Amino acid sequence: MSSAPQLNIVPFVSVDSMMKLVLDIGIETFLKELAEYIEEDFRRWEVFDKTPRVASHSDDGVIELMPTSDGSFYGFKYVNGHPKNARQGYQTVTAFGVLSDVGSGYPMLLTEMTILTALRTAATSAVAAKYLAPKNATTMAIIGNGAQSEFQAMAFKAILGIGNIRLFDIDPAVTEKCAANLAEFGFSIVKCPTAQQAVEGADIVTTVTADKQYATILTDNMVGSGIHINAVGGDCPGKTELHKDILLRSDIFVEYPPQTRIEGEIQQLPPDYPVKELWQVMTGAIPGRTDSRQITLFDSVGFATEDFSALRYLRDKLRTSGHQQNLDLLADPDDPRDLFGMLLRARK
Protein backbone atom coordinates (compact mmCIF):
# COMPACT_ATOMS: atom_id res chain seq x y z
CA MET A 1 0.00 0.00 0.00
CA SER A 2 1.31 3.46 -0.88
CA SER A 3 1.87 6.13 1.74
CA ALA A 4 2.25 9.90 1.64
CA PRO A 5 5.69 11.50 1.80
CA GLN A 6 6.85 12.68 5.21
CA LEU A 7 5.38 16.14 5.84
CA ASN A 8 6.55 18.77 3.37
CA ILE A 9 9.83 17.16 2.29
CA VAL A 10 10.11 16.00 -1.32
CA PRO A 11 13.27 14.28 -2.61
CA PHE A 12 14.82 16.15 -5.54
CA VAL A 13 17.41 14.77 -7.96
CA SER A 14 19.44 17.47 -9.68
CA VAL A 15 21.40 17.05 -12.90
CA ASP A 16 24.61 16.74 -10.87
CA SER A 17 23.06 14.11 -8.58
CA MET A 18 21.69 12.17 -11.55
CA MET A 19 25.11 12.04 -13.20
CA LYS A 20 26.76 10.87 -9.99
CA LEU A 21 24.09 8.23 -9.45
CA VAL A 22 24.44 6.83 -12.98
CA LEU A 23 28.22 6.70 -12.74
CA ASP A 24 28.16 5.14 -9.26
CA ILE A 25 25.82 2.40 -10.46
CA GLY A 26 27.64 2.09 -13.80
CA ILE A 27 26.14 3.12 -17.13
CA GLU A 28 25.58 -0.42 -18.42
CA THR A 29 24.21 -1.69 -15.11
CA PHE A 30 21.89 1.32 -14.89
CA LEU A 31 20.59 0.61 -18.40
CA LYS A 32 20.10 -3.10 -17.68
CA GLU A 33 18.21 -2.46 -14.45
CA LEU A 34 16.12 0.31 -15.99
CA ALA A 35 15.25 -1.98 -18.90
CA GLU A 36 13.90 -4.54 -16.42
CA TYR A 37 11.52 -1.93 -14.97
CA ILE A 38 10.42 -0.84 -18.46
CA GLU A 39 9.74 -4.41 -19.53
CA GLU A 40 7.90 -5.15 -16.28
CA ASP A 41 5.57 -2.19 -16.83
CA PHE A 42 4.94 -3.10 -20.48
CA ARG A 43 3.87 -6.54 -19.25
CA ARG A 44 1.24 -4.91 -17.02
CA TRP A 45 0.19 -2.47 -19.74
CA GLU A 46 -3.52 -2.89 -19.15
CA VAL A 47 -3.42 -1.41 -15.62
CA PHE A 48 -2.15 1.99 -16.79
CA ASP A 49 -4.08 5.10 -17.65
CA LYS A 50 -3.15 5.85 -21.26
CA THR A 51 -3.51 8.98 -23.32
CA PRO A 52 -1.49 10.62 -26.10
CA ARG A 53 0.80 13.23 -24.64
CA VAL A 54 -0.55 16.75 -24.31
CA ALA A 55 1.42 18.79 -26.84
CA SER A 56 1.78 22.49 -27.56
CA HIS A 57 3.37 22.92 -30.99
CA SER A 58 5.05 25.99 -32.42
CA ASP A 59 7.16 26.76 -35.47
CA ASP A 60 10.27 26.22 -33.35
CA GLY A 61 9.36 22.99 -31.59
CA VAL A 62 7.02 21.38 -29.12
CA ILE A 63 6.40 21.36 -25.35
CA GLU A 64 4.67 18.27 -24.00
CA LEU A 65 3.26 16.74 -20.84
CA MET A 66 3.30 12.94 -20.56
CA PRO A 67 1.09 11.60 -17.72
CA THR A 68 0.12 8.12 -16.60
CA SER A 69 -0.91 6.17 -13.48
CA ASP A 70 -1.03 2.52 -12.44
CA GLY A 71 -3.57 3.23 -9.70
CA SER A 72 -0.97 3.41 -6.92
CA PHE A 73 1.42 5.99 -8.33
CA TYR A 74 0.99 8.85 -10.76
CA GLY A 75 3.83 10.14 -12.89
CA PHE A 76 4.29 12.83 -15.47
CA LYS A 77 7.11 14.32 -17.48
CA TYR A 78 7.49 17.81 -18.89
CA VAL A 79 9.59 17.64 -22.06
CA ASN A 80 10.38 19.86 -25.01
CA GLY A 81 11.72 19.19 -28.48
CA HIS A 82 13.34 22.17 -30.22
CA PRO A 83 15.73 21.12 -33.03
CA LYS A 84 16.94 24.69 -33.59
CA ASN A 85 18.27 24.90 -30.04
CA ALA A 86 21.52 23.15 -30.93
CA ARG A 87 22.51 26.05 -33.16
CA GLN A 88 22.34 28.34 -30.12
CA GLY A 89 24.21 26.01 -27.80
CA TYR A 90 21.08 24.70 -26.07
CA GLN A 91 19.81 21.13 -25.69
CA THR A 92 17.28 19.98 -28.28
CA VAL A 93 15.43 18.07 -25.55
CA THR A 94 15.12 18.97 -21.86
CA ALA A 95 12.84 17.43 -19.27
CA PHE A 96 11.87 17.07 -15.64
CA GLY A 97 9.44 14.69 -13.96
CA VAL A 98 7.33 14.01 -10.88
CA LEU A 99 6.19 10.78 -9.22
CA SER A 100 3.24 11.08 -6.83
CA ASP A 101 1.27 8.96 -4.39
CA VAL A 102 -2.26 8.38 -5.73
CA GLY A 103 -3.73 7.85 -2.26
CA SER A 104 -2.75 11.28 -0.90
CA GLY A 105 -1.93 13.19 -4.07
CA TYR A 106 1.42 14.14 -2.53
CA PRO A 107 4.48 14.23 -4.81
CA MET A 108 7.11 11.70 -3.77
CA LEU A 109 9.90 12.63 -6.16
CA LEU A 110 10.94 15.57 -8.32
CA THR A 111 13.80 14.97 -10.73
CA GLU A 112 15.68 16.15 -13.76
CA MET A 113 14.78 13.98 -16.73
CA THR A 114 16.97 15.24 -19.56
CA ILE A 115 19.60 12.61 -18.79
CA LEU A 116 17.04 10.13 -17.48
CA THR A 117 15.00 10.43 -20.70
CA ALA A 118 18.06 9.70 -22.81
CA LEU A 119 18.68 6.59 -20.72
CA ARG A 120 15.07 5.36 -20.78
CA THR A 121 14.74 5.99 -24.54
CA ALA A 122 17.84 3.91 -25.19
CA ALA A 123 16.77 1.19 -22.77
CA THR A 124 13.33 0.99 -24.43
CA SER A 125 14.95 0.68 -27.86
CA ALA A 126 17.06 -2.22 -26.67
CA VAL A 127 14.13 -3.93 -24.92
CA ALA A 128 12.14 -3.78 -28.17
CA ALA A 129 15.10 -5.09 -30.15
CA LYS A 130 15.39 -8.05 -27.78
CA TYR A 131 12.08 -9.25 -29.24
CA LEU A 132 12.38 -7.92 -32.79
CA ALA A 133 16.02 -7.86 -33.92
CA PRO A 134 17.67 -10.73 -35.83
CA LYS A 135 18.95 -13.51 -33.61
CA ASN A 136 22.64 -13.12 -32.76
CA ALA A 137 22.81 -9.58 -34.14
CA THR A 138 26.28 -8.06 -33.74
CA THR A 139 26.30 -4.81 -35.74
CA MET A 140 24.24 -1.62 -35.47
CA ALA A 141 24.28 1.46 -37.66
CA ILE A 142 23.43 4.74 -35.95
CA ILE A 143 22.22 7.45 -38.34
CA GLY A 144 22.34 10.75 -36.47
CA ASN A 145 25.16 11.00 -33.95
CA GLY A 146 23.85 13.74 -31.66
CA ALA A 147 22.89 13.70 -27.97
CA GLN A 148 21.01 10.36 -28.01
CA SER A 149 23.45 8.30 -30.07
CA GLU A 150 25.90 7.19 -27.37
CA PHE A 151 23.06 6.17 -25.06
CA GLN A 152 21.63 3.98 -27.83
CA ALA A 153 24.99 2.32 -28.41
CA MET A 154 25.50 1.67 -24.70
CA ALA A 155 22.00 0.21 -24.24
CA PHE A 156 22.36 -2.17 -27.18
CA LYS A 157 25.75 -3.28 -25.87
CA ALA A 158 24.48 -3.79 -22.32
CA ILE A 159 21.25 -5.58 -23.23
CA LEU A 160 21.93 -7.27 -26.59
CA GLY A 161 25.73 -7.51 -26.63
CA ILE A 162 26.11 -5.34 -29.74
CA GLY A 163 29.82 -4.63 -30.19
CA ASN A 164 30.11 -3.24 -33.73
CA ILE A 165 28.88 0.29 -34.37
CA ARG A 166 28.74 2.06 -37.73
CA LEU A 167 28.23 5.83 -37.44
CA PHE A 168 26.96 8.50 -39.83
CA ASP A 169 25.91 12.11 -39.36
CA ILE A 170 25.64 14.94 -41.87
CA ASP A 171 28.09 16.79 -39.59
CA PRO A 172 31.36 14.81 -39.45
CA ALA A 173 32.36 16.63 -36.26
CA VAL A 174 29.36 15.14 -34.48
CA THR A 175 30.38 11.66 -35.60
CA GLU A 176 33.87 12.30 -34.26
CA LYS A 177 32.32 13.36 -30.94
CA CYS A 178 30.25 10.19 -30.74
CA ALA A 179 33.18 7.93 -31.63
CA ALA A 180 35.43 9.64 -29.07
CA ASN A 181 32.83 9.27 -26.31
CA LEU A 182 32.38 5.57 -27.04
CA ALA A 183 36.08 4.78 -27.47
CA GLU A 184 36.65 3.51 -23.92
CA PHE A 185 33.72 1.06 -23.91
CA GLY A 186 35.09 -1.70 -26.13
CA PHE A 187 33.18 -1.07 -29.35
CA SER A 188 34.51 -1.66 -32.83
CA ILE A 189 33.58 1.67 -34.44
CA VAL A 190 33.45 2.56 -38.14
CA LYS A 191 32.85 6.20 -39.12
CA CYS A 192 31.03 6.22 -42.45
CA PRO A 193 30.86 9.03 -45.05
CA THR A 194 27.26 8.25 -46.08
CA ALA A 195 24.14 6.74 -44.54
CA GLN A 196 24.19 4.07 -47.25
CA GLN A 197 27.64 2.91 -46.19
CA ALA A 198 26.67 2.95 -42.52
CA VAL A 199 23.74 0.61 -43.18
CA GLU A 200 25.81 -1.90 -45.18
CA GLY A 201 26.38 -5.00 -43.09
CA ALA A 202 24.24 -3.80 -40.17
CA ASP A 203 21.75 -6.12 -38.46
CA ILE A 204 20.07 -3.20 -36.71
CA VAL A 205 19.67 0.38 -37.94
CA THR A 206 18.88 3.13 -35.44
CA THR A 207 17.76 6.47 -36.86
CA VAL A 208 17.94 9.28 -34.33
CA THR A 209 18.03 12.60 -36.17
CA ALA A 210 16.67 15.89 -34.88
CA ASP A 211 15.37 18.09 -37.72
CA LYS A 212 11.63 18.74 -37.55
CA GLN A 213 10.67 17.86 -41.11
CA TYR A 214 9.50 15.06 -43.35
CA ALA A 215 12.99 13.68 -43.99
CA THR A 216 14.18 10.59 -45.80
CA ILE A 217 17.08 9.34 -43.74
CA LEU A 218 16.58 5.80 -45.02
CA THR A 219 15.42 5.13 -48.58
CA ASP A 220 13.80 1.89 -49.64
CA ASN A 221 16.84 0.61 -51.56
CA MET A 222 18.99 0.90 -48.39
CA VAL A 223 16.93 -1.63 -46.45
CA GLY A 224 17.52 -5.31 -47.15
CA SER A 225 15.62 -8.30 -45.81
CA GLY A 226 16.16 -9.46 -42.25
CA ILE A 227 17.03 -6.09 -40.76
CA HIS A 228 15.58 -4.45 -37.65
CA ILE A 229 14.95 -0.70 -37.78
CA ASN A 230 14.84 1.28 -34.56
CA ALA A 231 13.22 4.56 -35.69
CA VAL A 232 13.66 7.01 -32.82
CA GLY A 233 13.88 10.47 -34.40
CA GLY A 234 10.38 10.73 -35.88
CA ASP A 235 8.56 11.79 -32.74
CA CYS A 236 6.14 14.62 -33.54
CA PRO A 237 3.69 15.61 -36.28
CA GLY A 238 5.50 16.60 -39.46
CA LYS A 239 8.74 14.83 -38.47
CA THR A 240 9.70 11.50 -40.03
CA GLU A 241 12.89 9.73 -41.07
CA LEU A 242 11.91 6.78 -43.28
CA HIS A 243 10.65 6.56 -46.84
CA LYS A 244 7.04 5.39 -46.91
CA ASP A 245 7.91 2.33 -49.01
CA ILE A 246 10.03 0.97 -46.12
CA LEU A 247 6.97 1.02 -43.90
CA LEU A 248 4.95 -0.92 -46.46
CA ARG A 249 7.59 -3.70 -46.48
CA SER A 250 7.94 -3.91 -42.69
CA ASP A 251 6.14 -5.43 -39.75
CA ILE A 252 5.56 -2.32 -37.64
CA PHE A 253 5.58 -2.40 -33.84
CA VAL A 254 4.54 0.59 -31.73
CA GLU A 255 4.07 1.63 -28.12
CA TYR A 256 0.61 3.24 -28.13
CA PRO A 257 -1.10 3.45 -31.54
CA PRO A 258 -3.23 6.57 -30.89
CA GLN A 259 -0.04 8.53 -30.13
CA THR A 260 2.19 6.93 -32.76
CA ARG A 261 -0.31 7.57 -35.55
CA ILE A 262 0.00 11.29 -34.75
CA GLU A 263 3.74 11.48 -34.19
CA GLY A 264 5.53 8.43 -35.57
CA GLU A 265 6.63 7.16 -38.95
CA ILE A 266 3.14 5.75 -39.45
CA GLN A 267 1.69 9.27 -39.74
CA GLN A 268 2.60 8.69 -43.40
CA LEU A 269 0.12 5.80 -43.62
CA PRO A 270 -3.70 5.58 -43.56
CA PRO A 271 -5.15 5.88 -40.04
CA ASP A 272 -6.38 2.28 -40.10
CA TYR A 273 -3.11 0.76 -41.34
CA PRO A 274 -2.42 -2.36 -39.24
CA VAL A 275 0.37 -2.15 -36.65
CA LYS A 276 1.34 -4.35 -33.70
CA GLU A 277 1.62 -3.27 -30.07
CA LEU A 278 4.89 -3.94 -28.29
CA TRP A 279 3.28 -4.88 -24.98
CA GLN A 280 1.45 -7.75 -26.67
CA VAL A 281 4.76 -9.13 -27.94
CA MET A 282 6.24 -8.98 -24.44
CA THR A 283 3.28 -10.81 -22.91
CA GLY A 284 3.33 -13.48 -25.63
CA ALA A 285 -0.08 -12.52 -27.02
CA ILE A 286 1.41 -11.97 -30.50
CA PRO A 287 4.76 -12.95 -32.05
CA GLY A 288 7.63 -10.54 -32.61
CA ARG A 289 10.21 -11.60 -35.18
CA THR A 290 9.06 -14.78 -36.89
CA ASP A 291 11.68 -15.43 -39.58
CA SER A 292 15.15 -14.41 -40.70
CA ARG A 293 14.03 -12.41 -43.75
CA GLN A 294 11.41 -10.32 -41.96
CA ILE A 295 11.94 -6.57 -41.75
CA THR A 296 10.88 -5.37 -38.30
CA LEU A 297 10.36 -1.72 -37.47
CA PHE A 298 10.02 -0.28 -33.98
CA ASP A 299 8.30 3.06 -34.58
CA SER A 300 9.44 4.61 -31.31
CA VAL A 301 7.97 7.93 -30.17
CA GLY A 302 8.33 7.47 -26.41
CA PHE A 303 5.37 6.86 -24.13
CA ALA A 304 4.49 7.92 -20.60
CA THR A 305 4.74 4.42 -19.12
CA GLU A 306 8.47 4.41 -19.97
CA ASP A 307 8.96 7.63 -17.98
CA PHE A 308 6.87 6.11 -15.19
CA SER A 309 9.21 3.11 -15.17
CA ALA A 310 12.23 5.41 -15.03
CA LEU A 311 10.75 7.40 -12.13
CA ARG A 312 9.88 4.19 -10.29
CA TYR A 313 13.39 2.80 -10.80
CA LEU A 314 14.98 6.07 -9.68
CA ARG A 315 12.89 6.21 -6.51
CA ASP A 316 13.94 2.67 -5.60
CA LYS A 317 17.64 3.44 -6.17
CA LEU A 318 17.47 6.57 -4.01
CA ARG A 319 16.62 4.46 -0.97
CA THR A 320 20.25 3.41 -0.73
CA SER A 321 22.19 5.93 -2.83
CA GLY A 322 21.82 9.28 -1.05
CA HIS A 323 22.05 11.16 -4.38
CA GLN A 324 19.24 13.58 -3.62
CA GLN A 325 18.32 16.81 -1.92
CA ASN A 326 15.27 17.44 0.23
CA LEU A 327 13.00 20.24 -0.97
CA ASP A 328 10.65 22.19 1.25
CA LEU A 329 8.02 22.02 -1.50
CA LEU A 330 4.70 21.39 0.24
CA ALA A 331 2.86 23.56 2.75
CA ASP A 332 2.53 21.72 6.07
CA PRO A 333 0.40 23.67 8.57
CA ASP A 334 -0.06 22.19 12.03
CA ASP A 335 -3.79 22.24 11.31
CA PRO A 336 -4.52 21.26 7.68
CA ARG A 337 -7.48 23.69 7.75
CA ASP A 338 -5.34 26.66 8.81
CA LEU A 339 -3.19 27.44 5.80
CA PHE A 340 -3.76 31.20 6.22
CA GLY A 341 -2.66 31.01 9.84
CA MET A 342 0.55 29.31 8.74
CA LEU A 343 1.18 32.25 6.41
CA LEU A 344 0.64 34.77 9.20
CA ARG A 345 2.94 32.92 11.59
CA ALA A 346 5.78 33.31 9.09
CA ARG A 347 5.98 36.99 10.17
CA LYS A 348 7.39 35.99 13.55
Annotated domain spans of the chain? 9-115+305-345, 125-302
For the stretch 233-236, contacts whose Cβ atoms lie closer than 8 Å and that sit 24 or more positions apart, written own/partner, are 233/144, 233/207, 233/208, 233/209, 234/207, 234/263, 234/264, 234/265, 234/267, 234/299, 234/301, 235/81, 235/263, 235/264, 235/300, 235/301, 235/302, 236/55, 236/57, 236/62, 236/81, 236/212, 236/263, 236/301
- DSSP codes of every residue in 293-310: T--EEEE----HHHHHHH
**Is 9-115+305-345 a domain of CATH 3.30.1780.10?**
yes
Question: Given 235, 328, 335, 338, which residue is catalytic?
Answer: 235
4-8, 141-145, 157-161: the lowest-pLDDT one: 4-8
So what's the pLDDT on residue 20?
A: 97
For the question of residue 235 being annotated catalytic, the response is: yes
pLDDT digits (tens, 9 = 90+) for 191-246: 999 999 999 999 999 999 876 677 788 999 999 999 999 999 877 788 889 999 99
SS3 state of residue 145: coil
Which of these, 91, 44, 61, 3, lies nearest to 308 by C-alpha position?
A: 44
Q: Is the pLDDT of residue 159 over 80?
A: yes
Confidence of residue 2 (pLDDT cuts 50, 70, 90): very low
The number of C-alpha atoms within 13 Å of 234 and in the hemisphere containing its C-beta is 34
Burial of 32 (0-12, 13-18, 19+ CB in 10 A): middle
Which of these, 92, 97, 71, lies nearest to 82 by C-alpha position?
A: 92
Encoded amino acid at 248, one letter = L
pLDDT digits (tens, 9 = 90+) for 263-293: 899 999 999 999 999 999 999 999 999 999 9
**Per-residue pLDDT averaged across 157-169, rounded?**
98
pLDDT digits (tens, 9 = 90+) for 21-50: 999 999 999 999 999 999 999 999 999 999
Q: How far apart are CA 267 and CA 273, in angstroms?
A: 10
Q: Is the pLDDT of residue 3 over 60?
A: no
SS3 state of residue 61: coil
Considering Cα of 24, then 9, then 15, then 232, what sign does the dihedral take?
A: positive
So what's the pLDDT on residue 14?
A: 98
Topology annotation, domain 125-302: Rossmann fold (3.40.50)
Q: How far apart are CA 260 and CA 270, in angstroms?
A: 12
